[in-house]
Amino acid sequence: MSLRISVEPKSDSAWCMELAGQMDHDSAGEFEGYAQDLLLHQPKRVLIDLSKLDYISSAGIGVLFQFQKEVQSRGGILTLFNPQTQIRSILEAVRAFPLKNIFYDESDADELLKMLQEMGKTYPEENDGPNSLLS
């Protein structure tokens, strides 16, 4: 199974990417192309939906991590959401992404990013998180 990527704007500065299938050495370059195209839009928030991603290799983690660094270097926030159990386990094991930037659903990720933007922050601090939105 190959990698399928869809990208759609959520607002002028926020974008959502959906990854489906398998991200491995062969498909990592395809993701890089989409990521570079998206960076041309100067996104301040990027949400990546992993709900349909079945497999990710070290090459896939590498390109995701590089994309996160590029978004962050431009003052933006990249958040991963809806990872399947096996993908979440891999992300947690390699610690390439702060766990506070991985969410189980889009609404939690979107609300946290809005809150951070209003507070003028780039990345969540330890006490920020979806549950802090409820208090």
- Alpha carbons within 13 A on the beta-carbon side of 4: 7
Tokens 């939690």 locate to: 108
Please report the domains of the chain, with CATH numbers, ordered by start residue: 3-133 (3.30.750.24)
Largest CA distance in the chain: 45
Separation of alpha carbons 22 and 54, rounded Å: 6
Digit-by-digit pLDDT tens for the chain (135 residues) are 599 999 999 887 889 899 999 999 999 999 999 999 999 999 988 989 999 999 999 999 999 989 999 998 999 888 888 888 888 888 778 776 655 566 666 666 666 666 656 655 444 444 444 333 222
- pTM, full prediction: 0.74
